[in-house]
Amino acid sequence: MHIRFNPFGTLLIAACLTFFAAEAAGQVKGTEAHPRGLENPFYAFNNSMRGKQPSDPAAQAGLLAELGYDGIEGYSLDELPRLAEEIHKRELKIATIYFKVDIDASDKPYDERIVEYLKTFLKDRGVILTVHLHSGRFKPSDPEGDAFAVPILRELADLAHAHGAKVAVYNHVNFWAESIDDGIRLSKKVNRRNFGAAFNLCHWLFLEGEKDLGKRLDAITPYLLSVTLCGADGGPEAKGAGWDKLIQPLDQGSFDNLALLREVVRRGYTGPIGLQCYNISLPAREHLTRSIRAWSTFKQRFMPR
């Protein structure tokens, strides 16, 4: 058998591989390059209003639309259908869904209602399942758990891909996937073009302190599907600090979020930016107003370097 070399076929394959790598990193938006300026969608975490007023999904969606947010993070699958209805009615987005996966469970490692939701009101809306991974058998960041996690995550990624969605490992202190390195490692092993990792500012600061940010972003960028930030006190002393120091309204804290955004966008990230609001005691309208004003200031001052 003789195999004829086709240079055009080789170029086509290379182009496709480049496209898929860019898509996995949140870097493909149609066929256009990222525009100059800060154009990433900006959405609020569900904990911005959870346990506070307004508690009704219609009022929550209305407040976000009034203030100028682009959407919200889904959380409870009980409430998600109604919340999504109100969010979509105002032409906002369910940007991400904070979604639990138990890697120890041999049967039903995640809430299977997500299957129907992705087939119906979330279909082809570009939602990202930000999965927080749990285990009682394996300590945080223990790679021995990969053999159990990877098949579950491949199944979930394939399901999401069939309905225009993505999956990102949400690094969370004291959970099994605790660090951004866990998200990177799992992204390589899962090996799906719609599967990647999240960069969560407060959890990174808690684990590592404000150290080697550029190198850490370089490492995660090929897999980056989700970025979250908040006001925070940075520096080396951020390592192990309390959440009151690491999660504040966006107009507070010593950490330079504008510099972070410049670095993230400079590396080609076009995906959503989420606002972490855990344990902020202020009324929702007050802290959300302050944070969207800070975001607007970032947009005005933003020029990629």
pLDDT for the residue 305: 57
Q: Which residue has the tokens 């919200």?
A: 72
Is residue 106 predicted with pLDDT exceeding 90? no
Question: For 236-281, how does the pLDDT look when each residue is reduced to its tens digit (9 = 90+)?
Answer: 999 999 999 999 999 999 999 999 999 999 999 999 999 999 999 9
Beta-carbon count within 10 A of 13 CB: 11
The pair of three-digit structure tokens given for residue 262, joined into one six-digit string: 């410049």
CA distances to 87, 191, 214, 215, 289 from 263, rounded to whole Å, are 30, 25, 7, 11, 25
Q: Could you give the count of Cα atoms lying within 13 Å of 100 in the half-sphere of its Cβ?
A: 12
Which range, of 13-22, 123-132, 228-237, 278-287, averages the lowest pLDDT?
13-22
Which range, of 15-19, 38-42, 167-171, 211-215, averages the lowest pLDDT?
15-19
pLDDT bracket for residue 303 (50, 70, 90): confident
Is residue 39 predicted with pLDDT exceeding 50? yes
Is residue 12 predicted with pLDDT exceeding 50? no
Dihedral angle at the C-alpha atoms of 278, 279, 284, 287, nearest 10 degrees? -80
Cβ(229)–Cβ(275) under 8 Å?
yes
Is residue 23 predicted with pLDDT exceeding 80? no
pLDDT for the residue 35: 52
Question: For 181-190, how does the pLDDT look when each residue is reduced to its tens digit (9 = 90+)?
Answer: 999 999 999 9
What is the pTM for the complete model shown? 0.88
Distance CA 272, CA 40 (A): 5
Distance CA 238, CA 1 (A): 63
Domain 35-301 bears CATH identifier 3.20.20.150: yes
Q: Which residue has the tokens 């290379």?
A: 14
Which range, of 6-15, 53-62, 238-247, averages the lowest pLDDT?
6-15
Is residue 20 predicted with pLDDT exceeding 80? no
Question: For 137-191, how does the pLDDT look when each residue is reduced to its tens digit (9 = 90+)?
Answer: 999 999 999 999 999 999 999 999 999 999 999 999 999 999 999 999 999 999 9
Q: Which residue has the tokens 């394939």?
A: 158
Is residue 125 predicted with pLDDT exceeding 70? yes
Q: Who's near 193: CB < 8 A, 6+ residues apart?
A: 20, 21, 23, 24, 161
Q: Where are the domains of the chain?
A: 35-301
pLDDT for the residue 141: 98
